[in-house]
Amino acid sequence: MLTLIATLLSACALATPPAPPFPTFVLVTQDPNASPTPTPFQPSANENTLIPSYTPAPPITNTFTATATLQPTATFTLEPTQPAINTTAPQVTVPPVANARTNYILYVTLDFANHTLAVDETIRYYNTTGAVLTDILLSVQPNRFGSAVFGLNSIAQDSVSIASYNLSGQSLSISLPQALQPNAATTLTLNFNLNLPSKSAEGLFGYDFNQINLVDWYPFVVPYNGGWVLHDPMPFGEHLVYDSSDIEVNLKADASIVIAASAPAEQNGEWTRYRLYGARTFTLSASDEFLVAESAVGSVKIRSYYFDGYKAAGESILYSAVQAVSLYSAKFADYPYQTLAIVQADIHDGQEYDGLIFLASDFYSQYGGGARNNLTTIGVHEIAHQWWFGLVGNDQALEPWLDEALSAYTERIFYEYNYPRYGDWWWQFRVDYFGAQGYVDSSIYDWGSQRAYVNAVYLNGAHFMEELRLRMGDADFFRFLKAYAAQYAHQRATGAGFFAVARANTTADLSDLIAKYFSSAY
Ligand SMILES: [Zn+2]
């Protein structure tokens, strides 16, 4: 979740001097080489064009036959590293496959007007834990809103109905009739209904008068790390931890509804199909009032979904997104997905998901031009999470700095390369105004308020990253970030892993920096 309390941000934004004229740009819908106005500062010769070449995953050779009752002939194509799968097969032992990701296939009928969904979900789960599993734990976030919201109609393992499960709060624990051996795979099928709640002022999930947001909306198997990892929710900070997975969503909705989603839409018979590879979670937002502006960075389509009256802001954040995706792709790793959706919503700040971010309507209404505003800072922060959350995962509850400190500091990198004169403004507006303090490696449970949590994890985290960069030097620092993104792509990084890669890329002694900013020794 984002950073700053909206009221404080607003006050701070109003105190900001007028920004210089925003560079003009032309929205491009087709040109794959669409380029923003040339940046005023070029970091190095090989980044004279900040348009990276991005090659989407190669066409898929394996075929996955879904057992979903609504579309038995559907095929789900897997990335080449995965074995062919037949979900109709009983539990089988497959050869050990590095990165054998869990597959999700969902058939979803959305009744926008009545805020309801009927869902068939098929989960192909690979036991890569090394342990014999006698149970499987799924996260079911909609059930936190009550049994009136999440209605589980049936659940089966390898086509055998399961009667022994425990659905309580956010967790669905399934006792397996047959233990799942290491390197074996099994298929779970669920049928459920969602009767969406009215969206709360603080949250995203549910329906608003003109919008439905589906975030963390389907049951997913939580990571296993000597035990199932499903932390308690907190009022602030994210508590969920995700393995990287492949997700296919087949959707039926009224044609008048515009869908913003984590992946590109394709026709699949009477369904609209979305396929997302190597992601933590699939998110969508639906509205009968969305307006859309579109651009691209290489083959990555970027769309801004905004509401009537917010055209300038909707196009501005699209422009910033082109800048951000271009720069981050050059500095960290290729953008991990095929598309990016930026979605206006009635929330307090911003929220990241794979291939889709939400930004507060207040940022759109406060927008007055230029790049010195919440819309831009928070927007490029949430886009940074595509790398530091989506591509490189982490335990968001226990080590939130791994995605939040890095995304906060990535804002600084964004301004440095795109608006170098705004560097001091950024430090003051985003960090020092609030007083950065506290251990960077705090968990979401360590602080009594969001302000204190953010000051430590995000803001002191940004100062730590700046000092780390000064200590290492730019060449080693950016080589380190690329190596870190490569090593932990589609995995979950840890603090120990972060520093191991850092030390592999520098001869500098980091121990005093770690002692200054961290409670752990690393
Ligand atoms: Zn964040």
Q: For residue 288, report the distance from its CA to the centre of ligand 1, in Å.
A: 28
Q: For residue 336, report the distance from its CA to the centre of ligand 1, in Å.
A: 17
Q: For residue 408, report the distance from its CA to the centre of ligand 1, in Å.
A: 7
- Per DSSP, the three-state class of 109 is strand
Q: For residue 154, report the distance from its CA to the centre of ligand 1, in Å.
A: 36
State the pLDDT at residue 69.
28
Q: For residue 1, report the distance from its CA to the centre of ligand 1, in Å.
A: 5
Q: What is the CA radius of gyration of the chain?
A: 22
Residue 394: CA count within 13 A, CB half-sphere: 30
Q: For residue 378, report the distance from its CA to the centre of ligand 1, in Å.
A: 8
Q: For residue 387, report the distance from its CA to the centre of ligand 1, in Å.
A: 11
State the pLDDT at residue 143.
98
Q: Residue 6 gets which letter from DSSP?
A: H
Mention every residue, 6+ apart, whose C-beta is less than 8 A from residue 521.
514
Alpha-carbon span 156 to 88, nearest angstrom: 12
Alpha-carbon span 358 to 349, nearest angstrom: 8
Q: For residue 310, report the distance from its CA to the centre of ligand 1, in Å.
A: 24
Segments in 292-332 forming alpha helices (H): 311-331
339 near 401, Cβ under 8 Å?
no
pTM across the whole model: 0.84
Q: For residue 401, report the distance from its CA to the centre of ligand 1, in Å.
A: 9
Tokens of 70: 């609504």
Tokens 């006050």 appear where?
11
Tokens of 445: 């449970």
Phi-psi region of 269 (alpha: psi -120 to 50; beta: other; left: phi over 0): left
Q: For residue 77, report the distance from its CA to the centre of ligand 1, in Å.
A: 32
Give exposure, 249-282, as e/b (b: 16+ Cβ within 10 Å).
bbbebeeebbbbbbbbeeebeebbbbbbbbbbbb
Q: For residue 195, report the distance from its CA to the centre of ligand 1, in Å.
A: 29
CB atoms within 10 A of CB 213: 27
Secondary structure string (H, E, C) spanning 21-46:
CCCCCCCCCCCCCCCCCCCCCCCCHH
Tokens of 497: 């892993």
Q: Residue 147 gets which letter from DSSP?
A: T
Which of 312, 293, 445, 429 has the alpha carbon at shortest distance from 374? 429
State the virtual CA torsion across 408, 261, 345, 108 in degrees, nearest 10: -130
Tokens of 305: 């979904």
Residue at 20: amino acid letter:
P
- Per DSSP, the three-state class of 174 is strand
Give exposure, 157-179, as e/b (b: 16+ Cβ within 10 Å).
bbeeebeeeebeebbbebebeee
Q: For residue 142, report the distance from its CA to the centre of ligand 1, in Å.
A: 22
Pairing type for strands 160-161 and 220-221 reads unpaired
Residue at 213: amino acid letter:
N
Q: For residue 381, report the distance from its CA to the centre of ligand 1, in Å.
A: 6
State the pLDDT at residue 99.
54
Tokens of 247: 């997700």
How high is the mean pLDDT in each 10-residue block of the chain (522 residues)?
37 32 36 32 31 33 30 34 37 52 98 98 96 97 95 95 94 93 96 98 95 98 97 95 98 97 96 98 98 98 98 98 98 98 97 98 98 98 98 98 98 98 97 96 95 97 98 98 98 98 98 98 92
Q: For residue 2, report the distance from its CA to the centre of ligand 1, in Å.
A: 5
Q: For residue 88, report the distance from its CA to the centre of ligand 1, in Å.
A: 40
Q: For residue 221, report the distance from its CA to the centre of ligand 1, in Å.
A: 23
Q: For residue 42, report the distance from its CA to the centre of ligand 1, in Å.
A: 26
Q: For residue 191, report the distance from its CA to the centre of ligand 1, in Å.
A: 33
Q: For residue 129, report the distance from its CA to the centre of ligand 1, in Å.
A: 29
Q: For residue 4, report the distance from its CA to the centre of ligand 1, in Å.
A: 10
Q: What are 273's strand-pairing partners? A: 250, 266
DSSP 403-470: HHHHHHHHHHHHHHHH-GGGHHHHIIIIIITT---S-TT--TTS-SSHHHHHIIIIIIHHHHHHHHHH
Helix (H) or strand (E) holding 142: none
Q: For residue 382, report the distance from its CA to the centre of ligand 1, in Å.
A: 6
Q: For residue 16, report the distance from its CA to the centre of ligand 1, in Å.
A: 23
Distances (CA, A) of 139 to 144, 307, 396: 10, 32, 15
Q: Residue 56 gets which letter from DSSP?
A: P
Tokens 């730019």 appear where?
474
Alpha-carbon span 271 to 163, nearest angstrom: 31
Alpha-carbon span 436 to 430, nearest angstrom: 10
